[in-house]
Structure 1
Amino acid sequence: MKIVGVSGSMIGSKTVKVVNEVLEAVKRKSPVVETELIDLKEYEVDWVRGLPLEAYNDDTQNVVEKIIAADALIFGTPIYQASISGVLKNLFDHLPMGVFQSKVTGIVTTAGSERHFLVAEYQLKPILQFLKATVPNTQVFAVNGSFNENNEIVDQEVLTRMDVLAEAIVQQ
């Protein structure tokens, strides 16, 4: 089983940190699971122009192919202006309809304040469901106060949610 985590942030390190920690929790629960982290900061995914995938650059094709080949996924996004990141939405626009049929897709969001808690529920979850994903009830939401000065997650509720999400993904 291959689980891919995608961090949809172009700046900062909190989103990629939480996505990676969920992947690590998955490995602790099931050591035979193969995981991979895709940090969109490290790729130049082309903006969608309505062309076939083959018309886009190698990074775009590579990321899309890894996502399509995954058995389960974890999508992470920072919340900007009460919305998911543009780079993550752009990535979703590259994916074919029904790409997540029968795949569990976990949600991780990070934000500056608790006011953005429902963005995942009202924006990210509908996109994933439109692409036919199975979305667990458990999500991970972390705010700046969930981290210490060394960028370590110190909020016990966030740590618990990461563990529960990892369990939901492994049990698929």
Structure 2
Amino acid sequence: MKVLFVDGTIIGNKTGAVLDTVETYVKESGSAIEVERMNFADYEHQFVDGRPSAQYNADMQRLIKKFEEADGYIIATPIFQGSIPGVLKNAFDMLHPHAMRYKPVSIVANGGTYQHHLVVENQLKPILDYFRCLVTPNYVYTHAGHFDQDNRIIDEDVHNRLRELVRVFEKYTEMSKGLANDMLDEK
């Protein structure tokens, strides 16, 4: 199963550090998950304006293809000004409504204060629900105090929650296989 690890920002290092930690726990679990990393900072983004996807640059077309080909997602996002980054929302706007359907998704987010965790509930989860993703219930939110000066996670509770996130995500990947097969049988 190919899982796309999405670093949904073009600046900063904390979301990438959280994804690195999740990837370590995926590898330690011994699961059959094949991780592919997508760092938005490596793409030349264009604003979505309603034109056909073939009219966007090669990076935007590659971004769409990676989302469509993935079997599941770990989405990492910072919270800026009480919202997800525009570049992440723009990427979602590029996708066909069926691109992520019935695929498992786990969320990791980070922000400057504890209160920003509500952005996951109020903005990101509704977007993923629109795509009919299988969103795991145990997202992990971190804030600046959970990291050292080198952006390593130093909070043991965060490590425990990330390990749990991986365990739950693996169960969701198993469940999604059955759903995908059921959907094919109905067609």
TM-score (norm 2): 0.88
Cα-Cα RMSD: 1.1
Q: Is the 8 A contact 1:99 1:132 kept in 2?
A: no
**Which aligned pairs between 1:16-27 and structure 2 lie closer than 5 A?**
16-27=16-27
Pairing 1:61-140 to 2, within 5 Å after superposition: 61-140=61-140
Report how far residue 101 of structure 1 moved. Answer: 1.5
**Distance of 2:33 and 2:65 partners within structure 1:** 19
User: Aligned residues, how many?
Assistant: 172
Q: CA deviation at 1:45?
A: 2.2
**Retained in 2: the 8 A contact 1:6–1:40?**
yes
Offset of 1:107 from its aligned partner?
0.7
Query: What is the Cα deviation at residue 52 of structure 1?
Result: 1.5
Task: Give 5+ residue unaligned stretches, structure 2.
Answer: 173-187
Contact 2:67-2:100 at 8 Å conserved across structures: no
**Cα shift readout 1:79-133 (whole Å, capped 9, x = no counterpart):** 0111001000000000001222121111111101112111101100000010110
Larger Rg: 2
TM-score w.r.t. length of structure 1: 0.95
Unaligned runs of 5+ in 1: none
Secondary structure, aligned partner of 2:134? coil
Identical residues among aligned pairs (%)? 38
Give 1 or 2: higher helix fraction.
2
Contact 1:4 1:38 in 2 (8 A): yes
Paired residue for 2:45? 45
